[in-house]
Amino acid sequence: MPPALQLPDRQNWSCLGCGRCCRVHTIVLTGDEKERIEKLDWRGQNASLPQPWLESSSDKNSAAQPQLARQTDGACVFLTGEGRCLLQNLFGAEAKPRACRIFPFTFQPAGKKHIAAGLRFGCPSAASNRGRPLAQQNPDLQALAHLAIPPRANELPPPPVKPGCQLDWPAFLSLVHALGELLNDESVPLSIRWLQILAWTKTLETYEIVESDLPEVLPKLHKLIRAGVTAKDAAKGRPRRLTRAMFRLTAAQYARLDAPGETTGSWRHRWQLLRWACAFALGWGRTPSIQPELARVPFRQLDVPLKTNSSETEELLTRFFRIKISSLQFCGAAVYNMNFLEGIKNLALLHASILWLARWIALGRNREEPITEDLEQALTFADHNFAHSPGLGTFGARLRLNLLFDSGELAGLLGD
């Protein structure tokens, strides 16, 4: 029997045909995919394979792999003037490369009998919760899960909880469930829920985890954390200058939108990255021009903590993080092989980065405070990079993450 699919609740999605994914992703092909597209009956459809339809990666690290070529405006070679995929139009969805078929969905093994499905908010339709409820799309998603999950992947163990701590699937999933309970308690403001989650993470880091104790320990720990971390613990004052510099370096990675083909590894490109890194570390003057959809705004206006207490903002962010947790898109092979606890810290930093980005977008649109539309755009930018940007998985980025957590100042970046 195939593993059962676990779908996120309260989530809708349908493709709006906006073409964003066809402009911002680089699609690297396997040999099989290349051959399959070449062998399609183009003549029978009174069409021809656009030429050139392949290009080599300009990134030295992936030079050997062919990828789909770009039109002059950067769009995928198969994107039509009507915003549709030519391969899908002529030959059906099965003709598309695997990565295009799966996007924006994610699938992770969740034990021997289940697959956890998630959605990337890099797709604007997912961020704005438009389209059909996912529950109504189960058969289609089952087929995609089959495509996405390698055979026997469900037999692999879960990610470690922390270095040297490997649990079995039921115990690991009980921790995931407990984390979800803290996040989903909507009677508490989201910024406080994050403080509680960070305190819970810190406790588990120091506690010697014994599988058989978890059913008894986790409810007690919840009680303690809920009673111990309340609104009065919300961070007061601004984090230190060094903390803000480290944070901006990470948050800027989430703001990037490298046009395909731009990550060349050339000296010119490296020099540009170095200049941006210096600008974000110093935080003087205005933000550099790192992508066309973000205006240059003064750093001093950007580094102001954001209030997240409107019900719409809280609902949107809670929905986003609930999906990240329930779909296991925060640790293990899905996210730079992070262990469970490091993955939680990384989610907290992602949350802070989204708030920072939302303010940046709002300031560029002459608004002091972001509205829902700005936050949705921030989620689209951030989740495009989350778990995919090489810059966020480097040793330096992970060191910054752990330093921010250990300093206790990550809490000060999570909004009021």
* Binding-site ranges for ligand SF4 (CB under 6 A): 15-21, 103-104, 123-125
- Cα Dmax for the chain: 70
Residue nearer to ligand SF4 on the CB measure, 257 or 297:
257
Residue nearer to ligand SF4 on the CB measure, 19 or 393:
19
Beta bridge partners of 274: none
Instruction: Give the shortest CB-83-to-ligand SF4 separation in angstroms.
Output: 7
Residue nearer to ligand SF4 on the CB measure, 21 or 192:
21
How does DSSP classify residue 137? G
Amino acid at 21: C
Instruction: Give the shortest CB-76-to-ligand SF4 separation in angstroms.
Output: 11
Residue nearer to ligand SF4 on the CB measure, 211 or 373:
373
What does 358-402 look like in DSSP terms, one character per residue?
HHHHHHHTT-SS--HHHHHHHHHHHHHHTTT-GGGSSHHHHHHHH
For the record, the structure tokens of 213 come out as 């104790």
Instruction: Give the shortest CB-355-to-ligand SF4 separation in angstroms.
Output: 23
Instruction: Give the shortest CB-119-to-ligand SF4 separation in angstroms.
Output: 10
Instruction: Give the shortest CB-23-to-ligand SF4 separation in angstroms.
Output: 9
361-370 contact pairs (CB < 8 A, 24+): 361/294, 363/295, 363/297, 363/298, 363/301, 363/302, 364/294, 364/295, 364/297, 365/295, 369/306, 369/307, 370/306
Residue 100 CA to chain centroid, in angstroms? 17
Residue nearer to ligand SF4 on the CB measure, 18 or 135:
18
Residue nearer to ligand SF4 on the CB measure, 130 or 269:
130
Instruction: Give the shortest CB-380-to-ligand SF4 separation in angstroms.
Output: 9
Residue nearer to ligand SF4 on the CB measure, 17 or 219:
17
Instruction: Give the shortest CB-112-to-ligand SF4 separation in angstroms.
Output: 31
Instruction: Give the shortest CB-13-to-ligand SF4 separation in angstroms.
Output: 8
Closest CA to 176 of 193, 153, 200: 200
Count CB-CB contacts under 10 A for residue 316. 22
Instruction: Give the shortest CB-279-to-ligand SF4 separation in angstroms.
Output: 30
Instruction: Give the shortest CB-107-to-ligand SF4 separation in angstroms.
Output: 16
Buried/exposed 150-176: b ≥16 CB within 10 Å, e otherwise: eeeebeeebbbbbeebbbebebbbebb
Residue nearer to ligand SF4 on the CB measure, 18 or 210:
18
Closest CA to 122 of 102, 140, 151, 138: 102
Please, what is the Cα angle at 391 between 111 and 252, to 5 degrees? 110
Is 146 within 8 Å of 109 (Cβ atoms)? no
Residue nearer to ligand SF4 on the CB measure, 99 or 297:
99
For the record, the structure tokens of 157 come out as 């163990």
Q: Would you state the torsion angle of the CA atoms of residues 104, 107, 108, 111, taken in this order, to the nearest 10 degrees?
A: 150
Count CB-CB contacts under 10 A for residue 51. 8
Amino acid at 88: Q
Residue nearer to ligand SF4 on the CB measure, 15 or 47:
15
